[in-house]
Structures are given as structure tokens and as C-alpha cells.
């Protein structure tokens, strides 16, 4: 039973209710003053409270999908099948339903493929969900190369949230039908590619080369397997929270990899905490270069398109977002979505995603 399955949630509910009822029923029998009854009362209370805490944790995880599997929750690194037939760097592991009109017909609904990617240069292997729009399977598009958007979660976050909670494929399907967006391939991923460490899309000195993985390996692997463009103008990246920081930083640092970036409630510098560890290995210059505010002030601007979002009330990044907008220099280009009220949550991002995808589509070239 998977961590997010309804069976696990139902089992947690039954355990919590059963232990609560058992506590009430046995309490009179455990009212005597001896060490056995005292231990019995302590054990019942502890078991009941743990079952309730577990239930609350499962409910929160099902609502926000912080962890997609028991392995992610426990920080167990998965053994990925990272190569396909003939040594191909992409292997399709399975098919997911997008919940779109047309059901199982990819010509009508598109298709979500769960894939394993092999990072030849970075030596990082990771998984992704690749959304192929319906047009990818239609005869009139058989010779077309599609634009690509890498779609990133925050940390902690799970890839499934991108199509189960944030509805990226569903939103694209709606926008394309209204001719507000061009068909685009989504590569939906978590920035946490070496779990449980939060590397903030940084090439860590003597550590995981996460930035290289995203700016080189992901692009090379996807372009070698799907009909996509290979120039920076064909590639964008969008993300929320930590994924938003990555979505700004990678175009700014690697404009030959990504021409466009969208940050939903993104940060502007990497935190240094127990989850990240020493990201920069004491290299102060590397730390400054990954501070997006410092880059704007001290380095030439990259010729890329950036969009940032925040809320006047409810977002901790509001003031920094305004400063980032003011500091943007040509040839860089900046756009923004500023809500009156919002928050660092799925509800806010769902409100921003349609406009953000429409904007991004206008800057990507097929």
C-alpha cells in the first residue's frame, strides 16, 4: 500500500478510532494503583496519541503531497532503472492518467509517462513525469518539434503534486483549447534529486552536481528521446518555492540552456540549513553568484525572460520580489503577477498558473 493510497488513510482512521474506543473501554480496569495498570494507562495514551498524529500527518501529506512514497518519507534513495534499450538515457517506467477528456486516447487527452533519467555528466539519476500533449500523437504534428517546460516542485515536494494538485497538464489542455497557449511538453520533477538533501539546484563542491543535471543532462536526455527543440528558445522552467528559485537562477546563470523562467513564490537566495548542508563548501564567490539579488547588482544581465509572483498579503517574499523587479537590467526582461492576497500554498499557485503558462508559452519557440 502506497503512502498516499486511500487504503493507508482508511487504515489510519480505523486504528485511531479503535485505540480511542479501547482506551475508554479499558480505562476503568486500569484504574488500580500498581505498576502494571500505570504502564497500561501510559501505553494506551501513547498509542492513541501516536495514531492520531499519524492520521493528521497522512491527511496533510495527501492534501499537499510532501512525500509521494514510503521511500521518500524515510529518505531511502531509490534504485532507478536509468537506461533503456540500447543504452538510451531515458527509460519509460509506466503511464499515468492525466484525468483529461478523452481518457486513454493519447490523441485526445495526451499522456503522462513516468520516466527514469540518467545524468551522464552529473552522475545523478532521477525520475520525472513527462506530459505529452494530445498534439504530440496527432498526424498533422508528426514532424513538429515541441517546446519544453521543466516544471519543478518545492522542497519537500513530490512530482505527483504537479498533476494531481497543481493541475499543470489539465491547465495546458484548457489553454490550448482556447488558443491561449501552444502545445508544450512538460517535464515534471522535484528539485530534490538526491533525497533527502535539498541542494537548491546548486553544483555542490565535492558533492551533487544538481545544476549540471538540470541545465545539461535533463535537456540532453529529453531531446534524445522526444521530438523537442534543442535551443534555449525552446526551453523554459517554472517552479514554486524552492523550484521557483531554481526557475530564476538557471536561466540567469545558463541562458544557453533556458531562455525563460517563472518563479511562483520563489526565493532569491539559497538557505543554509540542516536540509541543505554546506552548499558552497566555503566558496564565498560561488555563494554570491547563487544569490540572485547580488547577481543583478554586480553581474551583466542575461538576455532571458523572467516572471515572478507574490502577494501583498500572505507572502514572505513580497518585498524581495519588488526589489528583484526594480533591479532587473536589460537585456533581461521581467514580468510579474502580484495578488492582493495569497500565501505560500497550492491554492495561490493554482490561481497564478494559468496566466503564468500563457505568458511562458508566448516566449517559447517551437
Q: Which of 172, 108, 158 has its CA nearest to residue 128?
A: 158
DSSP state letter for 153 = -
Mean pLDDT of 300-322: 97
Distance CA 320, CA 214 (A): 25
Q: Which of 114, 127, 349, 119 has its CA nearest to residue 239?
A: 349
pLDDT of residue 18: 85
Q: Is the peptide bond prior to 196 cis by the omega test (within 30 degrees of 0)?
A: yes
Cell digits of residue 221 = 536526455
pLDDT of 258 strictly over 60: yes
Which residues are within 8 A (CB) of 10 and not within 5 positions of it... i.e. 6 or more apart?
none
pLDDT of residue 83: 40
pLDDT of residue 113: 96
Distance CA 292, CA 169 (A): 29
Percentage of the chain beyond pLDDT 70 is: 90
pLDDT of residue 66: 57
Neighbour-count burial of 185, counting CB atoms closer than 10 A to its CB (0-12 exposed, 13-18 middle, 19+ buried) = buried
Distance CA 68, CA 275 (A): 18
Q: Among 33-37, 87-91, 264-268, 327-331, which stretch is predicted with the lowest mean pLDDT? A: 87-91
pLDDT of residue 100: 82
pLDDT of residue 84: 39
Rounded to whole angstroms, what are the CA distances from 151 to 166, 239, 316, 326, 353? Answer: 11, 6, 22, 26, 11
Averaged confidence pLDDT in the chain: 89
Give me the helix-helix angle, 168-177 and 346-361, nearest 10°: 40
Mean pLDDT of 133-147: 95
pLDDT of residue 68: 52
Output the furthest CA–CA distance in the chain (Å, rounded): 82
pLDDT of residue 62: 62
Q: Which of 135, 132, 126, 99 has its CA nearest to residue 113?
A: 132
DSSP H helical segments within the chain, as ranges?
A: 6-26, 35-64, 70-74, 106-109, 161-164, 168-177, 210-212, 218-225, 242-253, 284-289, 292-298, 318-327, 346-361
Percentage of the chain beyond pLDDT 90 is: 72
The confidence band for 51, taking pLDDT boundaries of 50, 70 and 90, is confident
Per the CB < 8 A criterion, the answer to whether 123 and 154 are in contact is no
The pLDDT tens digits for 97-124 are 777 877 778 999 999 999 999 999 999 9
Rounded to whole angstroms, what are the CA distances from 50 to 41, 107, 274? Answer: 14, 48, 26
* Bridge partners (DSSP) listed for residue 117: 90, 126
Mean pLDDT of 278-300: 96
Distance CA 213, CA 117 (A): 10
Mean pLDDT of 233-257: 98
Give DSSP secondary structure letters for 272-293. -STTT-STTTT-HHHHHHT-HH
pLDDT of 346 strictly over 80: yes
Per the CB < 8 A criterion, the answer to whether 285 and 207 are in contact is no
Specify the 3-state DSSP secondary structure of 182. coil
Q: Among 27-41, 77-91, 215-229, 307-321, which stretch is predicted with the lowest mean pLDDT? A: 77-91
The pLDDT tens digits for 63-93 are 555 555 555 566 544 444 334 334 457 999 9
pLDDT of residue 27: 81
Strand 260-264 and strand 333-341: pairing? unpaired
| pTM score of the predicted model | 0.81
Amino acid at each position: 500500500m502506497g503512502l498516499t493510497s486511500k487504503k493507508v488513510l482508511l487504515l489510519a482512521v480505523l486504528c485511531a478510532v479503535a485505540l480511542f474506543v479501547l482506551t475508554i473501554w479499558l480505562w476503568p480496569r486500569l484504574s488500580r494503583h500498581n505498576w502494571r495498570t500505570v504502564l497500561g494507562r501510559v501505553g494506551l495514551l501513547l498509542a492513541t496519541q501516536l495514531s492520531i498524529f499519524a492520521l493528521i500527518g497522512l491527511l496533510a501529506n495527501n492534501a499537499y503531497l510532501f512525500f509521494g512514497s514510503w521511500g521518500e518519507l524515510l529518505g531511502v534513495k531509490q534504485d532507478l532503472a536509468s537506461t533503456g534499450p540500447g543504452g538510451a538515457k531515458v527509460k519509460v517506467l509506466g503511464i499515468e492518467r492525466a484525468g483529461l477528456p478523452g481518457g486513454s486516447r493519447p490523441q485526445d487527452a495526451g499522456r503522462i509517462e513516468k520516466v527514469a533519467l540518467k545524468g551522464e555528466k552529473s552522475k545523478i539519476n532521477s525520475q520525472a513525469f513527462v506530459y505529452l500533449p494530445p498534439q504530440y500523437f496527432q498526424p498533422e504534428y508528426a514532424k513538429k518539434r515541441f517546446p519544453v517546460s521543466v516544471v519543478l516542485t518545492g522542497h519537500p515536494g513530490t512530482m505527483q503534486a504537479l498533476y494531481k494538485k497543481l493541475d499543470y497538464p489539465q491547465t495546458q489542455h484548457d489553454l490550448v483549447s482556447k488558443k491561449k497557449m501552444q502545445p508544450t511538453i512538460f517535464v515534471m520533477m522535484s528539485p530534490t534529486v538526491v533525497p533527502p538533501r535539498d541542494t537548491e539546484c546548486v553544483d555542490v563542491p565535492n558533492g551533487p552536481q544538481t545544476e549540471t543535471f538540470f541545465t545539461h543532462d535533463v535537456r540532453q536526455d529529453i531531446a534524445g528521446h522526444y521530438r523537442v527543440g534543442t535551443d534555449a528558445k525552446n526551453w523554459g522552467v517554472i517552479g514554486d518555492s524552492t523550484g521557483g528559485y531554481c526557475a530564476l537562477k538557471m536561466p540567469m546563470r545558463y541562458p544557453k540552456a533556458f531562455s525563460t523562467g517563472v518563479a511562483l513564490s520563489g526565493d532569491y537566495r539559497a538557505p543554509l540549513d540542516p536540509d541543505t548542508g554546506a552548499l558552497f563548501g566555503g566558496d564565498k564567490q560561488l555563494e554570491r553568484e547563487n544569490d540572485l539579488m547580488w547577481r543583478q547588482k554586480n553581474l551583466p544581465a542575461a538576455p532571458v525572460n523572467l516572471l515572478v509572483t507574490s502577494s501583498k498579503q500572505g507572502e514572505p517574499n513580497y518585498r524581495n520580489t519588488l526589489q528583484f523587479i526594480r533591479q532587473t537590467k536589460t537585456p533581461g526582461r521581467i514580468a510579474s503577477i502580484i495578488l492582493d492576497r495569497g500565501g505560500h500554498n497550492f491554492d495561490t499557485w493554482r490561481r497564478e498558473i494559468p496566466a503564468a503558462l500563457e505568458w511562458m508559452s508566448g516566449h517559447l519557440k517551437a
